[in-house]
Amino acid sequence: MHKQPFVIEESCDLITGHWVQKLRRSLYTNLSCAMIPDSKNCFKNGRGDNEFLNWRWKPNECELPRFDSKAFLEMVRGKKMTFIGDSATWLHLDVGDFE
């Protein structure tokens, strides 16, 4: 049996919260990840700082567990997936950034 990639309490309100600084730096930037298309590359499109990489969303009532990419890949191995959303959803799917 595989480990769940993340478990969130059912009562957790994911909408109400605030942005907090991440303790860990991002593993990549728009400059070091070749998977990010130019149209979504903040640095290539004039963003001069990288502070936006150092924040994460924190719900007020609960903790979001760190995403376990290996467990997630095991869970979806051999299955079909559909992603529904906007360009932000596409970018997360595109680069595999589920943190």
Write the CA distances from 3 to 42, 50, 61, 70, 78, integer angstroms. 35, 33, 24, 9, 17
Q: Can you list the alpha helix ranges (DSSP code H) found in 5-86?
A: 69-76
Number of domains in the chain: 1
Please indicate whether residue 96 or residue 16 has the higher confidence score (pLDDT): 16
Q: 80 lies in a domain?
A: yes
User: What CA–CA distance (Å, rounded) separates 73 from 80?
Assistant: 12
Q: Does 84 reside within a domain? A: yes
83 contacts 90 by C-beta, under 8 angstroms: yes
The pLDDT tens digits for 84-96 are 777 777 766 665 5
pTM for the complete prediction? 0.55
> Tens of pLDDT along 23-73?
776 666 666 777 777 777 777 888 888 787 788 889 998 888 877 878 888
Residue 7, domain member (yes or no):
no
CB contact set of 29 (below 8 Å; sequence gap of 6+): 43, 50, 53
Residue 10 lies in a domain: no
Average pLDDT over residues 75-90: 80
Q: Would you state the pLDDT for residue 19?
A: 94
Structural domain for 24, as ranges? 18-95
pLDDT at 78 over 90: yes
